[in-house]
Structure 1
Amino acid sequence: MSAVPRSYKLTVKTSFPSQFSGVVEIELDLAEPTRSLTLNAAPPLKLLGGVLAAAGARHPVQSVSLSKTDELATLGFSEVVPAGPAMLALRWEGRLDEGGLQGYYRVACPPVDGEPPEFYAVTQFQPTSARKAFPCFDHPAKKAPFSIALITPVGLTSLSNTPEASRKPCSGAFEPSEVATAAFLAGEEGKLADGAELVAGADATGEWELVTFGRTPPMSTYLAAWATGRFDSASSSYTSPITGEEVPLTAYAAKAFQHVERGQARRALDTLAKVMPVYEKMFDLPYEMGKLDLLVVDDFEAGAMENWGLITGRKSTLLYDEKVGGDAALRQVVTTVSHEAAHMWFGNSTTLSWWNDLWLNESFATLIGEVVAINAIEPTWKVHANFIKFHRSDALRLDALRSSHPIHLSCKHESEVPQSFDHISYEKGSACLKMLMEVIGEDKFLAGTAAYLKEHKHACETSKDLWRALSAASGIDVEQMMDCWVEKVGFPVITVEEDGDQLRLRQNRFLSTGDPQPDEDETLWTVPLFLKDADVAAPPSVVLMSTRDLVIPRPGSLYILNAESRSTIRIAYPASHVSKLTAAAKSAGSKLSLTDRVGLVEDLLLLSEAGYTRTLPTLDFLSAFAPTETAFLVWAEIAAAFKRFADAWWEQPEGELDALRAFARTLFRPMVDKLGLKHLPQDDPDTRRFRALVVAAAAAVEDPEILAWVKQAFAGFLAGDVDPLAADLAMFIVGTAVKHGGAGEYDAALAMYRSAPSPQHQMAAILGLTSTRDMQLLQKTASMMTSGEAKAEELPIFLHGLAANPSSRRLVWAILQQAWPMLEQQYQGSMLLGKVAGTAVEAFSSEADAAAVEAFFADKDTTAYIQPLQQALDTVRSKARWLAREKDAVRGWLGEKGYLAGAGAGEGEASRDSAFAQPEDV
């Protein structure tokens, strides 16, 4: 029957090392008379008792029926309970060590002076794991206020969504109330099972405190949060530009790990203090939780989580070491904190009605939190240009796969939700919103957004609610324009034919295999074309293309149809026009803007990889264009192209791989010589990033002088003498040093991993441990994953490193097959399961491997991870088709250009440890 929760009064007792118990009183509206009530509950919860008070009568729970598949508990009563207001009280217990990284779980701290290990406990509920911590109506639309209290051992810090309201000593017993009476708490009423401890009685094992927190606004269950442990803290604040009140900001981390003591939480806290007033002004809505905390969690499933008033996150997203952090780590922390802070409005105050609109949460937080707000606080970061390369590119690469999905999801069962947290829900959605913002203007876009947030404050919404608000602000029919982008899978490639003074345009779905079938190519997108003549200094004009074919006047001789790469599309220009654009891009004082050049290079490379054009003209283009290019973002795409070559060609003969490396060295080494091996005081952020990129790329393609520099930098890194450039390249330096070193370098990386003073050290150490070419050492690394030495949150990182290493790609697949039953159990209901499967598979590049993977999973229930698995298989097949189509031509080109040494260089056994890889996150 239908029941609507109106409020939760929740008390949770944490009994370290492994037990928790709780009592909840849920105020309800019953829609009709009933003898049963269904809500969500899932292992490790064990329901101990329940009673429903309604119309002056008490109705003890007589029975409970559990559905493990649907994670539901149906409570049975002996009499019919009348419709109307009611109060449900439930008590339960669970184990902190049985929930994985979901629900309410514990995190171990290192032992001190021979003492037993200490733990702290924290929640992670998104999307559907609140039910693993307390029985509830675990649906995002069923919002209700929460009053949370925690019973914890004396001396610990307790945190929740709102400020602490009171703290007092207690016996460890739950306090009785009008509904949860002493008799009920003692198991004398509504008893369903015996508990491991008497939840109503005093606990003689230690002293206890009862900490209560203020009542929250109405919110979804997945946003409730609490934590308890020995935490250090650092504080800041900001003054609300709307209310004038000071809002406390605090960063917490486990005292045992010394993160706060080392000052590593300061940058995240400073970012929070900068962006919160930006959001209040932007939306004309004050933040309303009274405080905002950051909690660093040392074993965490997601990157970070936007719990309202208590943001949680893993070390790499919330901690930054000023001495060795480097630029990429800094940007990750700043953008993560800004993204999660944006959720205080997008997702928390205004919430999706169901998970099929996940994009409303994540796409907005990505666009507003990682672009608009960052542009306000870090104006030198060129975030709008970076968005093209590092957000839109990720979106289009995934959306080009046959197995992609629409932004607006089709979630038939809750078990499908975790796999939907992908580049479509985040990056493609944000790219489409940015495209819309470019059409209507940022001011109107933000005005419509603010109106949308105000209208739906404390409520739930759908895509149509957003379109109505933006239509009202802009005066155009936003739904008509955007519906196809949100409801349909994929995106178009616009093919251009020149016909005198006219251009004939055609739109078709773009696929990474270049072969859309008729039933896959039925969508007609409403495409904003941003037309300009690069010879003329004037803003672009906007034309909406909503038909298969369109004829337009040629905008000029040097025309561009997607100016500044504003639309979420690819453009296939005629070869003659590509030559014109290339010449213009190469000329001194290029007429093509930075984002025009990024879009041109990306389109050319991806069109050739997919088979829309041939690869050899693209190689010629790189040879001619790269030496004159001086922008980091364009070179980042060039470096990414060589990595994609390496990923596809990794099992080709050694001579061909040597030839590809030789070709790459002719491009990257001159840039290293131009930029040097030292950061300079006058460098802007992009110059530093550019230098780091080309140095790492030159080392990746085995330039001997740069490898010598890496060896020296690694020694300095171990000695604590970290050059600023080396700090930017920490992960790559450690990985490269171990790859080209031996047992000594491996052991140094292992020691660094076991006593890493910062998350940047730890990530660098993992990359080192997974980069060796020694099979015995690789087996040693693999054993760390199966022995438990590697934390659960690190398993996908280890797998990613091993899969990126040609020497261990097949080892990863062997490990996954052997460990799959354990992995399914460990990550049941977790988004990590899909990441693990996809990571192990997508490194392959042959149809035979794709078939073997399909055979392995043929008899398994893949519902919870089918999307990332299919996407990985599509990635493999895209590479296999590219390789089959072009490998002979590429071999011939390499020989013709003099990179392929010897007549027999293209023959012989392939070397699986020889493929070059480009740096990531530099």
Structure 2
Amino acid sequence: MYNESILMKRGENMTEIARFYDDFQPSHYDIYLDIDRGTKKIKGTTRITGIAKSANIAIHQKNLKIDLVEVNGEQSKFEIDTTKDALRLTMDKLGKVEVKVEYETKLTDSMMGIYPSYYEIDGVKKQIIGTQFETNFARQAFPCVDEPEAKATFDLALKYDEKPGELTLANMPENRVEDGVHYFDTTVRMSTYLVAFAFGELQGKYAETKSGVKIGVFATKAHKANELDFGLSIAKRSIEFYEDFYETPYPLPHSWQLALPDFSAGAMENWGLVTYREAYLTLDPDNTSLEMKQLVATVIAHELAHQWFGDLVTMKWWDDLWLNESFANMMEYVAIDALEPEWRIWETFQASESPAALQRDATDGVQSVHVQVKNPAEIDALFDGAIVYAKGARMLVMVRALIGDDALRAGLKNYFEEHQYDNATGADLWKALGKASGMDVLKIINSWLEQPGYPVVTAKVEDDDLILSQKQFFIGEGHDQGRQWQIPLNSNYDEIPTIMSEKEVKIAGYQNLREKKGEPLRINIGNSSHFIVKYDDTLLEDILRDVTGYDSITQLQILQDLRLLAEGNQVSYETIVPLLNKFADSKYALVNTALYSVARNLRKFVTPHTVEEQNLKALYNKLSAHQVDRLGWIQRVNESVDDQLTRPYVVGAAIYGNNKTAVAQAHELFSANKNQLSSLQADVRAAILINEVKNFGSHELFNKLLEEHRRSADGSYKSDICAALTSSKDPAILNELIDKFEDADTIKPQDLRAWFAGVLSNAEGEQLAWDWIRNEWQWLEDTVGGDMEFTTFITVIARVLRTEERLAEFKEFFEPKLVVPGLTREIKMDTSVIESRVKLIAEQQNGVNKAIKEVL
């Protein structure tokens, strides 16, 4: 998130972060807020009780108009330091003090602080008020020491222009309403960024856990009541699971889940009042794809894992953000695997988290999981989903595999008992897990935690010696610093060491080992460790001889590692193309995920509107034809999880390939449902709409879909419309669509990145989208610059651009922004990403296109 102070001082050198908690340690807040939705004005009074450790203290505030400050009942002089977001005071004496601040501020329109969310019912525009205080936006709502370590208790009182039928929600239960003021129970000791409240015209559904915790799911009345049922069930069962797994009770009376129409992140773990994007909490139980159900379930489980890991025990400072996010990312899969075992949710982890982490972590300059934070802008730059979330989760999966669940649970129980309602560091976690397991966990994990990147383990046979070596793997140019890792090798050969810490390991008598085992050598069984394997030709041929006989994770791993090695130019995509047909008829969804990931990566080697592109489309048809015939477009009764998850891949491939039969079938389904497009079967709806827009598009259809998008509250359906409209081949329609990018009533700022990415990745729209973002960068910065995902607009661009000309334009536009705190790392990395792609295409394009032609 890039807050206003940073945006206004883009060219200035920014000083290091000042830690206010060292001088003033709050213990309790009394917060009174009077909010006028009409004028967007807020009048506030905050009383802070705490310990002054220094004569000169500072309290965070941002954009607050301070009217009065009192210390221990006496009016006090104060200074405002805008460069540090500080209210500075001088104390007459040290020790316990009470600071009272009266102030005014405004509702924001940045989805940070206290802000309105907008929605429509029957054409009437409405709003609800909600909050988002992570990372450091509580200071926009009330004066506070806005640091994770500054835990305190909170009494909240809210007054607003209340209308009949409105609900008011907060971290704790409401205990009374007096003179229009809503008072809430005192919170437990917690960090400022976890304070939350909301009010407006909401509907709710309730349940209760076995231990008596009240569970509620809330959304606007734009949603059908049954759209809350799935989230309620997952939330209730997740709380029950975590109480058992952690052997630690949920510490609050309730757990509210609230869907906000405007929300920057995916969801936020505010203690007792978790907030979500609507798409990640509400869903149509009668028409939502299994993939979307899995996503919603894991998001809910992720946030509820935080209620212990992050809320009950919180990182001491933002450099240990991974301590919150990596753990919750792993636990969401642990929980949902227990709640819905037939989903085999760990396969989703393999299909999404693992490749995301491996791709991002192979770029030189990437951050490590544990990162020092010295600049305010760097706090929000920490939220790198592929590293702090996905890589960190893979790191913890490695630990779980090494120590086992019994030691994990025992260690966590002790960790929570020792640090509850307080703060901790990564070292505290490793200490607890090490004590429970009897292993030096920190020694093993430190190389993964503190170092960026990961190794490629090369396996080769020379003179009957099996030689394993490790070296950092790069996609593109990389500065090899001789890094080494403690690698859990997880081989199917007993003679292979459990942990590889050396640069090279030599094992004699490979042929005897091979004959003894009776199967090919494989490393990283289960793909649970964060590295890839490069087998020499002999070892690889041995594996590929009966490749479809392996389990789905092994097949995915083979395709995944080969793809990454090709991206790193250590093998050629030309050698992978002939292998693809081996996997084309797989009934494993996981294998199809990997197969079409490789196929999608082949698109960069073909130029639009050429024979080579037609050949690639023919390959897509060849790969998907049998599966489309087998599965069809309509889901069958009692269909397997694999078939449900595979169908969207294969029908999408058929539509991309312009398969005449598939195009006709999709058009027929569209025509039969044209009066109620949302009722199209959810798992194929995107493919049907894309087909209609690409092959039967018109301005009438464009307007119809755009209006459907405006009116619908179904996040999944809205996403499908976005995918369809951005795939148009009509420049006039794409121009008209881009004109809507800055119309928040049509495309909400929270959704803009997806629309921009869709047009940019469309060959007919690339120039239009690229021109728009360069011309409108200041508008974009002003609109979503306070969002932690702002930098990902740059990431999206880097995923698409692939020519020397575009690389030069990217550098020309973004290199002047290298001085901007928070953007520096992303620009450097993404420049490298585009450079490596341009080089890869130049070196492999001819061979890849030849290979595609030969397999047809």
Instruction: Sort the TM-score into its range (normalised by shorter chain).
Output: over 0.9
CA distance in 1, matches of 2:468, 2:642: 36
Q: Mapping of 1:633-782 within 5 angstroms?
A: 633-646=590-603, 648-649=604-605, 651=607, 654-720=610-676, 726-743=681-698, 744-782=700-738
CA distance in 2, matches of 1:12, 1:21: 6
CA distance in 2, matches of 1:542, 1:266: 49
Identify the residue that residue 381 of structure 1 maps to in structure 2.
343
CA distance in 2, matches of 1:374, 1:491: 28
The answer on 1:560 being equivalent to 2:552 is: no
CA contact (8 A) 1:128 1:414 kept: no
Q: Which amino acid aligns with 1:609?
A: E
Structure 1 counterpart SS, 2:181: strand
CA distance in 1, matches of 2:209, 2:200: 26
- 1:717 CA drift (Å): 4.4
Which stretch of the first structure deviates more once superposed, 680-689 or 431-440? 680-689
Structure 2 counterpart SS, 1:81: coil
- 1:656 CA drift (Å): 0.8
Is the alpha carbon distance of 1:721 and 1:126 closer, same or farther for their aligned partners in structure 2, counting shifts above 3 Å? closer
Q: Mapping of 1:858-869 within 5 angstroms?
A: 858-860=815-817, 861-869=819-827
Identify the residue that residue 813 of structure 2 maps to in structure 1.
856
Q: Which amino acid aligns with 1:103?
A: G
Is the alpha carbon distance of 1:717 and 1:568 closer, same or farther for their aligned partners in structure 2, counting shifts above 3 Å? farther
CA contact (8 A) 1:734 1:749 kept: no
Which stretch of the first structure deviates more once superposed, 495-504 or 154-163? 495-504
Identify the residue that residue 545 of structure 1 maps to in structure 2.
500
The answer on 1:792 being equivalent to 2:749 is: yes
CA contact (8 A) 1:508 1:521 kept: no
- 1:698-750 per-residue CA deviation (whole Å, 9 max, x = no partner) reads 212221111122222333443337777x3112233323321222223322211
CA contact (8 A) 1:167 1:210 kept: yes
Is the alpha carbon distance of 1:627 and 1:227 closer, same or farther for their aligned partners in structure 2, counting shifts above 3 Å? closer
CA contact (8 A) 2:689 2:724 kept: yes
Counterpart among 559, 572, 583 of residue 626 in structure 1:
583
User: What RMSD in Å do the two structures reach over aligned CA positions?
Assistant: 2.0
CA distance in 2, matches of 1:841, 1:335: 28
The answer on 1:890 being equivalent to 2:844 is: no
Identify the residue that residue 606 of structure 1 maps to in structure 2.
564
CA contact (8 A) 2:491 2:522 kept: yes
Q: Mapping of 1:263-342 within 5 angstroms?
A: 263-342=226-305
Is the alpha carbon distance of 1:742 and 1:852 closer, same or farther for their aligned partners in structure 2, counting shifts above 3 Å? same
Q: Which amino acid aligns with 1:163?
A: P
Counterpart among 876, 885, 905 of residue 834 in structure 2:
876
Identify the residue that residue 355 of structure 2 maps to in structure 1.
393
CA distance in 1, matches of 2:442, 2:457: 22
| Bigger RCO (CA 8 Å, 6+ sep) | 2
Structure 2 counterpart SS, 1:250: strand
Identify the residue that residue 7 of structure 2 maps to in structure 1.
none
- 1:755 CA drift (Å): 1.3
CA contact (8 A) 1:415 1:829 kept: no
CA contact (8 A) 2:216 2:257 kept: yes
Return 5+ residue gaps in structure 2 as ranges: 1-21
- 1:652 CA drift (Å): 5.6
CA distance in 2, matches of 1:597, 1:858: 41
Which stretch of the first structure deviates more once superposed, 429-438 or 691-700? 691-700
Is the alpha carbon distance of 1:806 and 1:71 closer, same or farther for their aligned partners in structure 2, counting shifts above 3 Å? farther
CA distance in 1, matches of 2:767, 2:529: 39
Identify the residue that residue 127 of structure 2 maps to in structure 1.
119
CA distance in 2, matches of 1:440, 1:847: 49
Structure 2 counterpart SS, 1:136: coil
CA contact (8 A) 2:33 2:158 kept: yes
- TM-score by length of structure 1 reads 0.86
- 1:524 CA drift (Å): 0.5
- 1:667-694 per-residue CA deviation (whole Å, 9 max, x = no partner) reads 1112222333332223221221112321
Identify the residue that residue 9 of structure 2 maps to in structure 1.
none
CA distance in 2, matches of 1:512, 1:803: 23
Identify the residue that residue 86 of structure 2 maps to in structure 1.
72
CA distance in 2, matches of 1:813, 1:732: 25
CA distance in 1, matches of 2:47, 2:679: 57
CA distance in 1, matches of 2:849, 2:796: 29
The answer on 1:41 being equivalent to 2:61 is: yes
Identify the residue that residue 528 of structure 1 maps to in structure 2.
488
CA distance in 2, matches of 1:633, 1:350: 35
Q: Which amino acid aligns with 1:522?
A: G
Q: Which amino acid aligns with 2:690?
A: G
Is the alpha carbon distance of 1:472 and 1:847 closer, same or farther for their aligned partners in structure 2, counting shifts above 3 Å? farther
CA distance in 1, matches of 2:233, 2:481: 48
Structure 1 counterpart SS, 2:491: strand
CA contact (8 A) 1:366 1:426 kept: yes
CA distance in 2, matches of 1:61, 1:846: 62
Structure 2 counterpart SS, 1:577: helix
Structure 2 counterpart SS, 1:236: strand
CA distance in 2, matches of 1:719, 1:270: 32
Is the alpha carbon distance of 1:562 and 1:111 closer, same or farther for their aligned partners in structure 2, counting shifts above 3 Å? closer
The answer on 1:213 being equivalent to 2:184 is: yes
- 1:450 CA drift (Å): 2.4
Counterpart among 417, 422, 443 of residue 480 in structure 1:
443
Counterpart among 50, 70, 82 of residue 93 in structure 2:
82
Counterpart among 399, 420, 423 of residue 382 in structure 2:
420
CA contact (8 A) 2:606 2:849 kept: no
CA distance in 2, matches of 1:270, 1:698: 36
CA contact (8 A) 2:363 2:478 kept: no
The answer on 1:10 being equivalent to 2:31 is: yes
Which stretch of the first structure deviates more once superposed, 124-133 or 835-844? 835-844
Return 5+ residue gaps in structure 1 as ranges: 171-208, 241-245, 534-538, 900-922
Counterpart among 204, 208, 214 of residue 233 in structure 1:
204
Q: Which amino acid aligns with 1:307?
A: N
Q: Which amino acid aligns with 2:36?
A: S
CA distance in 2, matches of 1:488, 1:643: 30
- 1:401 CA drift (Å): 1.1
Identify the residue that residue 129 of structure 1 maps to in structure 2.
137
CA contact (8 A) 1:829 1:864 kept: no
Identify the residue that residue 306 of structure 2 maps to in structure 1.
343
Structure 2 counterpart SS, 1:211: strand
Structure 1 counterpart SS, 2:489: strand
Which stretch of the first structure deviates more once superposed, 334-343 or 409-418? 409-418
- 1:233 CA drift (Å): 1.2
Q: State the percentage of identical aligned residues.
A: 25
The answer on 1:167 being equivalent to 2:177 is: yes
Q: Which amino acid aligns with 2:390?
A: E
CA contact (8 A) 1:40 1:73 kept: yes
Identify the residue that residue 432 of structure 1 maps to in structure 2.
395
- 1:388 CA drift (Å): 1.6
The answer on 1:60 being equivalent to 2:80 is: no
- 1:19 CA drift (Å): 1.5
Q: Which amino acid aligns with 1:575?
A: D
- 1:657 CA drift (Å): 0.9
Counterpart among 393, 397, 415 of residue 452 in structure 1:
415
- TM-score by length of structure 2 reads 0.93
CA contact (8 A) 1:809 1:840 kept: no
CA contact (8 A) 1:26 1:88 kept: yes
CA contact (8 A) 1:145 1:217 kept: yes
CA distance in 1, matches of 2:159, 2:344: 48
Identify the residue that residue 44 of structure 2 maps to in structure 1.
22
Identify the residue that residue 405 of structure 1 maps to in structure 2.
367
- 1:340-374 per-residue CA deviation (whole Å, 9 max, x = no partner) reads 111101100010111111111111111012x1101
Identify the residue that residue 844 of structure 1 maps to in structure 2.
801
CA distance in 2, matches of 1:541, 1:385: 26
CA distance in 2, matches of 1:833, 1:281: 38
CA contact (8 A) 1:496 1:574 kept: yes
Q: Which amino acid aligns with 1:151?
A: K
Q: Mapping of 1:799-838 within 5 angstroms?
A: 799-838=756-795
Structure 2 counterpart SS, 1:239: coil
CA distance in 1, matches of 2:260, 2:843: 47
- 1:433 CA drift (Å): 0.6
Is the alpha carbon distance of 1:431 and 1:99 closer, same or farther for their aligned partners in structure 2, counting shifts above 3 Å? same
